[in-house]
Structure 1
Amino acid sequence: MTITLKAKDLSTEEVVRVARHNEELQVASDCWQRIKRCRAMLEEKIHAKEIMYGVNTGIGEFSEIVLDDEQIKQFQKYLIYNHSAGIGEPFPVEFVRAAITTRINVHAHGHSGCRPDITETLIAFLNKGVTPVVCEKGSVAACGDLAPMSQVAMLLMGEGEAFYKGERLSAKEAMDKAGIPIPGLQARDGLSTINGSNFVAGISCLLLHDIENLMKHIDIAAAMSLEALMANMKPYDNRLHELRGFSGAVTCAENLRQVIAGSDLLDGKHKTRVQDAYSMRSTPQVVGAARDAIRYLHSQVSIEINGVGDNPIFLPESDTVLTGANFQGTPIALPLDMVAVAVNMVCVMAERRMNRLLNPALSSGLPAFLTKGAGMFSGMMLSQYTSDMLIVEQRILSHPASNQSIPAAADQEDFVSMGMNGVIKMRQILDNAYAIVGLELMAAAQALDFRDFKPGVGTAAAHSTIREVVDHLDVDRPLYPDHNNMKSLVQSNKIIEAVEKATGKSLRGSFTIGA
């Protein structure tokens, strides 16, 4: 299926489909008309020698230096050379594809001033599988993601490197093999390619998709632990959460009830506590707060990928050139930090429920550390150590990036968003979270093996899926293969699929109230 960009209604999931699943992309015909109209306006102004930032002036601290006609021809090339200043290993291919997708959607508005050839070439990169090699680090996400986007723009001159059909090649060789002409750079073309926070926005689309699946695993793991701990089920009544009104809590409680539906614990015949510990009964409130934070990030990213993140911006309808700071990454960087804290928060709660499963003083009759051979065997004691180490790393990584501005460019760029730091650390937080939640799921499955009541339909499906990759821990064995298998299982989303198939409906997500 081909995704058509119309400048205004690109979804985060469509970015994922292009970036991760290689769906083809095109731009609507009316967008091409806007792009051409804007370019014609720009060329008229160049001919009239009207001063325009980044077109016939330098950039940053050099914005007051006016370029002559010959310099204008060469400036875009040297701009891209100078800004290709990143460092580190290459970004994953899907991250680069996501960034290019969001940049094309900026061009589709018809306010960037580039030649249509530039946008056409970016589309060809996606549709023909040519992905620029881009260093992970170097962007402060304020004047746009200048360093990484410049490595994308290098290919527009036939320079740099690219991945093509699994090979790392010179840009020219990759483009020749894919049949993509080299458009070169003329006035404005380079800056119109790099001057937006498109890596931060594009990567955020992928992270949001994966965080949403993580949150569904959080709900499943919580439900399994609640059953294994013989929880009082009243705190998950939908009426309780609707009375308070937070949509995230309503969503979490509904997912918990969906997973637990059919459990013997719901018939009132099994003795439970009057009130459980906070890590149990406040799960909807805490996980719900995280979901609300995720929904806010999703809203901000959705606005960004459909907006005009560029500088300057050209308005053909009024023959106007506006300079400003629409490249500034803070609108995403700030909620990214909030979601980093939120994911860490729900991981802490997951570890606390796991602690209750392992601690015989708190587990409602489960054997110590979930082993029948306590003393001779240690059961899952060391699994908690692993979880705790990851939790501490999460806490370190949860320190905000968006308040870490360091001035650059002789103080012309004296406040920057550090949004790239935000997405890089969010990626690591998410990777750790897969493991932390996987360990709770593993402990909950082990605990349920010691219970003699019928679990919920969703709980049983999750338990069965876990047992496909991790056996019951009867006698001690090295646990690192089990830990790694559980992390991979969470990343695969097979538990979600099994629960949804068994219960007959999809688990609710965070992005849309009432979804």
Structure 2
Amino acid sequence: MSLPVFVLGRDSLTTGAVRLISYRQADLHLCDDEAFRRTIDQGAAVLAEKWRNQEVVYGVTTGVGESCTRGIPKELVPQFSVNLSRFHGCGLGSIFDEHTARAVVAVRLASLVKGWSGVRWSMLNHLCTLLGHDILPRIPAEGSVGASGDLTPLSYVVAAMIGEREVTFRGEIMPARAALDAVGIDPIALQPKEGLALMNGTSVMSALCALAIERAEYLSMLATRVTALVSAALLGNKSHFDDRIFAAKPHAGQRRAAQAIAEDLQLDDAYRRSAAERVQDTYALRCAPHVIGVVLDALPWMKDWMETEINSVNDNPLIDPGTGDVLHGGNFYGGHAAFVADSLKTAVANLADLADRQMALLLNVHRNHGLPLNLSGAPQDALPVNHAFKALQIACSAWAAEALKGTMPASVFSRSTESHNQDKVSMGTIAARDCLRVIELTEQVLVATALAGVQALELREKNLNQPQQVGTGIRQLANAMRAYSPFVAQDRPLDQELRGLLAALRQRKFPLSRPDHA
């Protein structure tokens, strides 16, 4: 089956497209239409002429930042693009994985193809070719304040193009020059401003935010199904998810979450008319749509903001390809990405907190309505030495607490840098990294809670002979999870099974439908 293809210069990138490209589930090509090529090259030609005429152009014939008052001799201009990438090669911390590196490259290309960055079509094609061959820069996660763009991390993209530093290629870490040689590609010779254009933008934070949004959306689907699963295992009151309740407070995402849970629980008119044994369950069940709904209602505007950012011209200076004017501004500032990341991590951390409380209910013999202590499936004579999910519940609380701690907004911690030239910065990349960490922790809590919910439902139905009426979605999720982690009858380590479940979640192998049934 052929993969979907996104053509830059023709197609805009959505957050979903960024995810597909990052996982090699879609191809990215550069438009080779003659009119498009002319538009791109026109801006580069304008800069080349200004360079030949020795006109003052920031970042071309001058230094950058506080050094903008220092002129660069005409013959040294090409070297400046290379040196700009070299002195920014100071990133530290963990190296972004291959999925993230692909996303960063794709997002940077989506900005540069607008034609206002003064770069050549051949330079863009070179970068797109590297992506096609899966020659991926090894980008350190730390070192960007989010304005003037993601200079340090994006310098590693430039380095790969000119054959410097290290890349990942065919599963190996190797010098960039060796990878280029392996596929017969020469290092590119950067022209004026091309180094700056590649580095001076919001593409790292934007790529991270795009991936975070897509993961958060999938997590919200899991959270609705896990809530239904836990409610069934705890003999919960299905009427908490009656659509009339949510029609009276009509936040769209909240209502969709409740509808999805009601469908999984097979809430019907007969149940609505019956008297439930418990009038009200705890908030962790009854208010779950109100928690999940915040994520669902926030995601559309977050996607809108980030797709605008991804498909925008976000470097400096801009070159008007029509007039040749050089426009100095601050489009490299990552304020929108920072706000999305700071907001999203708060909403997602609440999913971790919700699932952790649901896990606690499952294991609490004073609240789990007859389920065995710690959800142990051991026979009666072995119960004293079997503790099943006891430690996993503690681990969930640790993960949830760390996720909640990670919600401190990064965007309010602006620092003045570079001799007070960059005196107000976005911290967008730090916010986006924090957001992904919160999502990772929340995935851990939700997977663990789902596994406990499957165990609880099986104990209810098989050991206690209390079959539950639930929808096919819950059954499918339970079967999918059991492929990685069987029923816990005797104590065993669960860590490797949990890692397998997390990998399956991140590869979207669980049968989850969108809460809006789209």
Aligned pairs for 1:442-457 within 5 A: 442-449=451-458, 450-451=460-461, 452-457=466-471
Q: Which residue of 2 aligns with 1:338?
A: 343
Return 364-373 or 64-73, whichever deviates more: 364-373
Give TM-score scaled by structure 2 length. Answer: 0.91
Q: Structure 2 vs 1, CA of residues 265 and 218 (structure 1 numbering), >3 Å: closer, same or farther? A: farther
SS in structure 2 of the partner of residue 163 of structure 1: strand
Q: Which residue of 2 aligns with 1:3?
A: 6
Q: Which residue of 1 aligns with 2:101?
A: 96
Q: Distance in 2 between matches of 1:193 and 1:149?
A: 7
Opposite residue 456 of structure 2, the aligned amino acid is A
Q: Distance in 2 between matches of 1:80 and 1:114?
A: 16
Q: Which residue of 2 aligns with 1:459?
A: 474
Q: Is 1:80 aligned with 2:85?
A: yes
Q: Structure 2 vs 1, CA of residues 442 and 18 (structure 1 numbering), >3 Å: closer, same or farther? A: closer
Q: Distance in 2 between matches of 1:9 and 1:393?
A: 36
CA contact (8 A) 1:262 1:455 kept: no
**Cα offset, 1:268, TM superposition:** 5.8
Q: Structure 2 vs 1, CA of residues 476 and 68 (structure 1 numbering), >3 Å: closer, same or farther? A: closer
Q: Structure 2 vs 1, CA of residues 168 and 270 (structure 1 numbering), >3 Å: closer, same or farther? A: same
Q: Which runs of 5+ in 2 are unaligned?
A: none
Opposite residue 308 of structure 1, the aligned amino acid is V
Equivalent position to 2:222, from 186, 202, 217 = 217
Q: Distance in 2 between matches of 1:127 and 1:484?
A: 30
**Cα offset, 1:425, TM superposition:** 2.4
Q: Structure 2 vs 1, CA of residues 460 and 145 (structure 1 numbering), >3 Å: closer, same or farther? A: same
Return 233-242 or 286-295, whichever deviates more: 233-242
Aligned pairs for 1:333-412 within 5 A: 333-371=338-376, 373=380, 375-412=384-421
Q: Distance in 1 between matches of 2:491 and 2:68?
A: 67
Aligned pairs for 1:252-401 within 5 A: 252-261=257-266, 266=271, 271-371=276-376, 373=380, 375-401=384-410
Q: Is 1:59 aligned with 2:68?
A: no
Equivalent position to 2:144, from 135, 139, 143 = 139
Q: Distance in 1 between matches of 2:494 and 2:52?
A: 70
| Poorly superposed stretches of 4+, deviation over 6 Å | 262-265
CA contact (8 A) 2:200 2:332 kept: yes
**Cα offset, 1:310, TM superposition:** 0.8
Q: Is 1:469 aligned with 2:474?
A: no
Q: Distance in 1 between matches of 2:207 and 2:276?
A: 50
**Cα offset, 1:316, TM superposition:** 2.4
Q: Which residue of 1 aligns with 2:435?
A: 426
CA contact (8 A) 1:158 1:184 kept: no
**Cα offset, 1:485, TM superposition:** 4.5
SS in structure 2 of the partner of residue 494 of structure 1: coil
Q: Structure 2 vs 1, CA of residues 250 and 140 (structure 1 numbering), >3 Å: closer, same or farther? A: same
* Cα deviations by residue, 1:454-501 (Å, 9 ceiling, x for unpaired): 331222222222333333333444444454444344334333x2xx5x
Q: Structure 2 vs 1, CA of residues 73 and 468 (structure 1 numbering), >3 Å: closer, same or farther? A: closer
CA contact (8 A) 2:66 2:419 kept: yes
**Cα offset, 1:286, TM superposition:** 0.9
SS in structure 2 of the partner of residue 272 of structure 1: coil
CA contact (8 A) 2:254 2:290 kept: yes
Identity %: 27
Q: Distance in 2 between matches of 1:329 and 1:158?
A: 29
**Cα offset, 1:144, TM superposition:** 1.1
Q: Is 1:19 aligned with 2:26?
A: no
**Cα offset, 1:264, TM superposition:** 11
Q: Structure 2 vs 1, CA of residues 113 and 479 (structure 1 numbering), >3 Å: closer, same or farther? A: closer
Opposite residue 404 of structure 1, the aligned amino acid is F
Q: Distance in 1 between matches of 2:10 and 2:59?
A: 23
Q: Which residue of 2 aligns with 1:507?
A: 514
Q: Distance in 1 between matches of 2:441 and 2:342?
A: 16
Q: Distance in 2 between matches of 1:182 and 1:490?
A: 38
* Cα deviations by residue, 1:357-390 (Å, 9 ceiling, x for unpaired): 1112222333333237565543422221111111
Aligned pairs for 1:126-165 within 5 A: 126-165=131-170
Q: Which residue of 2 aligns with 1:105?
A: 110
Q: Distance in 1 between matches of 2:430 and 2:361?
A: 35
Q: Distance in 1 between matches of 2:359 and 2:93?
A: 37
Task: Kindly tell me the number of residue pairs found equivalent between the two proteins.
Answer: 503
Equivalent position to 2:42, from 19, 37, 40 = 37
Query: How large is the RMSD of aligned CA atoms in angstroms?
Result: 2.3
* Cα deviations by residue, 1:106-144 (Å, 9 ceiling, x for unpaired): 121100001222111111111122112222221111111
Q: Which residue of 2 aligns with 1:503?
A: none
Q: Which runs of 5+ in 1 are unaligned?
A: 501-505
**Cα offset, 1:411, TM superposition:** 0.9
Q: Distance in 1 between matches of 2:305 and 2:425?
A: 18
Q: Distance in 1 between matches of 2:499 and 2:48?
A: 57
Q: Is 1:190 aligned with 2:195?
A: yes
SS in structure 1 of the partner of residue 136 of structure 2: strand
**Cα offset, 1:302, TM superposition:** 0.8
CA contact (8 A) 2:224 2:515 kept: no
Equivalent position to 1:48, from 25, 28, 53 = 53
Q: Distance in 2 between matches of 1:475 and 1:263?
A: 38
Q: Is 1:416 aligned with 2:431?
A: no
Give TM-score scaled by structure 1 length. Answer: 0.91
Q: Is 1:494 aligned with 2:509?
A: yes
